[in-house]
Amino acid sequence: MGPLQGLKVIEMAGIGPGPFCAMLLADMGAEVWRVERREGPPGSRRDVMGRGRRSIALDLKNPAATRAVLRLVERADALIEGFRPGVMERLGLGPDVCLARNPKLAYGRMTGWGQTGPLAPLAGHDINYIAITGALDAIGTKDTPVAPLNLVGDFGGGGMLLAMGLMAAMLHAQRTGQGQVIDAAMSDGAAQLMAPIYGMKGNGRWQAPRGGNMLDGGAPYYGVYRCGCGGFLAVGPLEPQFFAEFLRRLQLPEGEFADRLKPELWPALQARFAAVFLTRTRDEWAAIFEGSDACVAPVLTMDEAPAHAHNQARGTFFEREGITQPAPAPRFSATPSEPGHPARLRGEDSRAILEETGFTATEIAELLEG
């Protein structure tokens, strides 16, 4: 099932955004073979990002294993790798070698800093990649930036960017027969995610320090408020008609907030709303705002989110192996995606994959037992 049915992808096993990209492609129907090193822990079927792929484990220091991967590459539409620059070349699996074997291959490279530039050879993590783009500085309280989990660099700016790049390259290869290398850097992707904020800055609508702008918690009508129970509400009625509905549900007079767009008044208006929200629990407020265009939602925990009525109606989450996890997205009308089988253990499909690719019994024995 899924719109990518018929496409074959080789995933060089790694961590974070690479596996996330492979999960997205597998969710959409691509056949993904995960190439893992023979040594290491066995893996777990409860690995959410490992779902939907099969696993082949090889000793990549063995030249025979390198040749085996190249034979897999010959049949693939795309390859995903997330090592530091130069590692795949040292393994004998760099883009020049792979594209020589398969000129239509989309060769996806996932790194934090990219393949070029002074930081390219250095280690880093999500928080470092987003730090140099302006994204980290823009997120947080007035006093300090706050790391937005590792969603902006690793997954939004990394895995999703690589998935889009691979799809574009595979489409180009289908049209022209020409493969290419996709250099996906998490720092580049995080910068792209900041495009609307840089646009606002360039147009004079993002001028104050962090915590003083419309979308960073500075505006009283776009932020998070504590309720009487200790829970929180997410409040976002930016447009006039939504703000009017927001005030109506709070039973507050519109005249009191006629100058809501003036930043100098925002602290006082925030204090006013904060005092009101403390008078009821989160769930009481959620009931008051339910069914309205006031743009208010309860801030749910990860335990609560799957049970929310909207998430239930859309099947946004499902449970497998005792693990609640997000369902495939987006939704396709003609070729619906389905979550693939649970994650395979390391090398669970080695023999089957090699047999399907045409390896002889002797070759298989050399690769798996030698």
CB 90 within 8 A of CB 116: no
Residue 366 has pLDDT above 90, yes or no: yes
pTM, to two decimals = 0.95
For residue range 71-94, what is the model confidence (pLDDT) as tens digits?
999 999 999 999 999 999 999 999
> pLDDT (tens digit, 9 = 90+) per residue, 182-230?
999 999 999 999 999 999 999 999 988 999 999 999 999 999 999 999 9
User: What is the average pLDDT value for the chain, to the nearest integer?
Assistant: 96
Query: By the 8 A CB rule, do 2 and 332 touch?
Result: yes
State residue 14's pLDDT score: 94
Residue 1 has pLDDT above 90, yes or no: no
The Cα 365–Cα 370 span in angstroms is: 7
Active site residue 154: yes
Average pLDDT for 111-128: 97
Residue 321: pLDDT band by 50, 70, 90 thresholds?
A: confident
* d(C-alpha 232, C-alpha 274), whole Å: 11
Q: What is the mean pLDDT of residues 45-73?
A: 96
CB 63 within 8 Å of CB 137: no
Beta strands at 323-326 and 317-320: parallel, antiparallel or unpaired: antiparallel
> For this structure, is 125 an active site residue?
yes
Cβ 266 vs Cβ 214: under 8 Å:
no
Determine which one of 125, 172, 293, 308 is catalytic.
Answer: 125
Q: Which residues are CB-contacts of 85 (< 8 A; sequence separation ≥ 6)?
A: 109, 111, 115, 120, 121
| Residues 217, 235 contacting (CB under 8 angstroms) | no
Q: Check 126, 154, 183, 188 and give the catalytic one.
A: 154
User: 128 pLDDT exceeds 80?
Assistant: yes
pLDDT at 25: 98
Q: Check residue 333 and give its pLDDT.
A: 97
Predicted pLDDT of residue 327:
97
Instruction: Look up tokens 């005092």; give the residue.
Output: 275
The residues, any chain, with a CB within 8 Å of residue 10's CB and separated by 6 or more, are: 32, 33, 35, 69, 72, 73, 76, 78, 79, 80
Mean pLDDT calculated for residue range 306-313: 98
pLDDT for res 370: 73
Please list the residue range(s) of the chain that carry CATH number 3.30.1540.10.
209-299
Q: How long, in residues, is the chain?
A: 370
Tokens of 131: 């730090």
Fold (CATH) for 209-299:
formyl-coa transferase, domain 3 (3.30.1540)
Q: What is the pLDDT of residue 234?
A: 98
Write the CATH number of the domain with boundaries 8-193+332-369: 3.40.50.10540
pLDDT-based confidence at residue 307 (cuts at 50, 70, 90):
very high
Edge-first strand listing for the sheet containing 31-37: 54-58, 31-37, 8-12, 78-81, 106-111, 180-185
User: In terms of Cα–Cα distance, which of 206, 173, 165, 116 is closest to 17?
Assistant: 165
- Express as a percent the part of the chain with pLDDT over 70: 100
